[in-house]
């Protein structure tokens, strides 16, 4: 439980700190009007001028809700698997292979649990552009996006585009845990994980 809570808090803080940058990145990726985004600074100025400061936080609710299980499941699952390995095979405690393998498994589990929140977040981030294009008539909150997506696309609509995340996420998470543990072992000879 401690690792789940620590992971969740880590995710909340990092998401809150970087959310406006993620918002601008998503907006720039979907914008088709070349005059709307000549540069990052230009995009930020346009969003601020047309939508205000609150726009940079559209979709943060689903992000914060989704990041808790993402990081919580990732940290919790990794530490559970690693703890079980250490109990049964203490000689493998410093195995980079198991650090990567367990991190990858944790990353896969985290992706499966949290991906629907990411779908809702992205839909909320781009809805102003969809309204401008006439593809959407009004702003929706996270709950409306979930119900509308499930109604029109079924539950699989909440997992649209997950394939690349199921490849990228486990590799990224496995590498993160492996490198983190390698550095910790170099800096602290008594590091126990």
3-state SS string over 115-126?
HHHHHHHHHHHH
The whole-model pTM stands at 0.79
pLDDT at 60: 93
Residue 63 to residue 15: CA distance in whole angstroms: 7
Kindly report the CATH number assigned to the domain that includes residue 121: 1.50.40.10
The pLDDT, as a whole number, for residue 104 is 97
In degrees and rounded to multiples of 5, residue 61 shows phi and psi of -55, -55
Q: Is 130 exposed, middle or buried (0-12, 13-18, 19+ CB in 10 A)?
A: middle
The tokens describing 87, both together, are 């109990």
Is 22 within 8 Å of 118 (Cβ atoms)? no
Burial class (CB in 10 A: 0-12, 13-18, 19+), 134: exposed
Q: What's the rounded Cα separation, in Å, for the pair 145 and 11?
A: 23
Residue at 30 is within a domain: yes
Q: Is 59 in a helix, a strand, or coil?
A: coil
- The total domain count for the chain is 1
Low-confidence ranges of the chain (pLDDT < 50): none
- Domain annotation covers residue 193: no
Q: What is the pLDDT of residue 97?
A: 96
CA-to-CA distance for 118 and 82, rounded, in angstroms? 28
Tell whether 192 is covered by a domain: no
Structural domain for 76, as ranges: 2-187
């Amino acid at each position: 439980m401690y690792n789940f809570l620590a992971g969740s808090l880590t995710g909340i803080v990092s998401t809150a700190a970087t959310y406006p940058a993620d918002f601008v990145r998503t907006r720039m990726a979907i914008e088709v009007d070349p005059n709307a985004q000549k540069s990052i600074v230009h995009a930020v100025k346009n969003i601020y001028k047309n939508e205000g400061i609150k726009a940079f936080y559209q979709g943060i609710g689903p992000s914060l809700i989704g990041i808790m299980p993402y990081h919580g499941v990732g940290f919790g699952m990794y530490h559970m698997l690693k703890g079980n390995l250490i109990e049964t095979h203490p000689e493998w405690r410093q195995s980079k292979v198991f650090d990567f393998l367990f991190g990858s498994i944790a990353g896969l589990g985290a992706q499966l649990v949290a991906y629907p929140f990411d779908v809702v977040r992205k839909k909320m981030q781009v809805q102003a552009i969809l309204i401008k294009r006439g593809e959407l008539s009004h702003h929706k909150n996270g709950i409306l996006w979930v119900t509308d997506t499930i109604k029109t696309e079924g539950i699989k609509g909440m997992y649209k585009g997950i394939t690349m995340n199921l490849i990228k996420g486990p590799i990224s998470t496995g590498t993160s845990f492996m490198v983190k543990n390698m550095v910790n072992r170099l800096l602290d000879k008594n590091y126990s994980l």
